[in-house]
Amino acid sequence: MRIWVFSGILVVLAILAVIGYRVMIDVKPDVTRPTMTPAIRADIAALEARLMPHVRMLGGTIGQRHLARPNELQAAAEYIRKTWTDQGFTVKTEAFQVDGRPCENLIIELRGVGRPQEIVLVGAHYDTAPGTPGANDNGSGVALLLEMSRAFRQAPLQRTLRFVAFTNEEPPHFFTEDMGSRVHARNARQRGEAIVAMVSLETIGYYSDASGGQSYPFPFGLLYPSAGNFLAVVGNLPSRPLAIDFLRAFMAVSDFPVEGVATFEMLPGINWSDHWSFWKEGYPALMLTDTAPFRYPHYHAPEDIPDKLTPPAFARVGHGIIQAVRHLASPR
């Protein structure tokens, strides 16, 4: 009997070891974290001052924005369109219908100067779940999308950099063909576009050093920290090389805590955003997140308002993401 118990324990440990190997991405020993100089800290503070007005507009002034609240959804789209137009971009509309109702993704591009056929796509959804003003989900992602485009508007990049504001990520459209990201990913595949990297900015505004504030679905709790003070970089198995590349680039420019995972798509939370749409078309894609319901107590709640975010940490994360995307768009 004891032999069978011992054998069973060995099997369980072996399974956990395999899962750990397939899940965890640890590049920390290979990357020297930078020193945050006064100039860098000043840049981060300036970024914070630009990010939060976007969050307050989307998650405060406009509030709920989805197809059952079409005026607010349109107001959010117009805010994004005007911001990009004011930055000097020509905004394209990817229009489609859901049950006879008009929907639109908004798109801008910076064409690459060396390898323009290769596309790095950064996206964030601007709709909310019903009942929530969506300051973090996903006002935070849209805010960084708008400030990232501002940072790159006159930067010569090797690859084409595309920014997309998606609609219809939230229920009842989640995991359906009516998601704005599904529309865009399908169209991109039909056009034969070479999207070499897709990055989904999803709930990136809340961080806490409190021990026990971070929860996980099994088996991640065995592998990752108990404090929700890190950015999560999430990919599926085919996207593992992209995840490693992104992590190395992020860690080379930022001292903010970051954790990576590339694993099986059926595990809870792994495919919970617009990156899923690109996996469906065979594109490498990542989700960048503060882990949403596994950390943020106001996820999909009326209390998801701008005051619940942690702006200094949000800006530190945003600074690192911008520089890591710069690397993806102009790899050495």
Question: Over the stretch 285-329, which tens digit does the pLDDT of each residue have?
Answer: 999 999 999 999 999 999 999 999 999 999 999 999 999 999 999
Report yes or no: 261 and 244 within 8 Å, Cβ to Cβ. no
27 within some domain: no
Mean pLDDT within 135-151: 98
pLDDT of residue 47: 98
Residue 260 lies inside a defined structural domain of this protein: yes
List pLDDT tens digits, range 209-268.
999 899 987 777 777 888 999 999 999 999 999 999 999 999 999 999 999 999 998 888
Report the C-alpha gap between 117 and 110 in whole angstroms: 12
Task: Find, among 23, 11, 13, the residue nearest to 224 by Cα.
Answer: 23
Alpha carbon separation from 54 to 6, 104, 284 (Å, rounded): 57, 20, 29
pLDDT band at 16 (very low <50, low <70, confident <90, very high): very low
Q: Is residue 28 part of a domain?
A: no
- 24 falls in which pLDDT band (50, 70, 90)? low
Q: What is the CATH number of the domain that holds 232?
A: 3.40.630.10
Whole domain around residue 123: which residue ranges? 37-329
Residue 183 domain-assigned? Answer: yes
Q: Which residue has the higher pLDDT, 28 or 327?
A: 327
Q: What is the pTM of this model?
A: 0.92
Instruction: Evaluate whether residue 22 is within a structural domain.
Output: no
**Share of residues in the chain with pLDDT > 90 (%):** 83
CA distance 68 to 86: 29
Query: Does position 54 have pLDDT exceeding 90, yes or no?
Result: yes
pLDDT at 175 over 90: yes
Give the number of domains in the chain: 1
C-alpha 269/C-alpha 273 separation (Å) is 9
With bands split at pLDDT 50, 70 and 90, how would you rate the model's confidence at 177? very high
Residue 1 lies in a domain: no
Cβ contact 284:110 at 8 Å:
no
Q: Is 134 exposed, middle or buried (0-12, 13-18, 19+ CB in 10 A)?
A: buried
Report yes or no on 244 lying in a domain: yes
- Establish whether the linkage from the previous residue to 172 is cis, with ω within 30° of 0: yes
| Domain-embedded: residue 23 | no
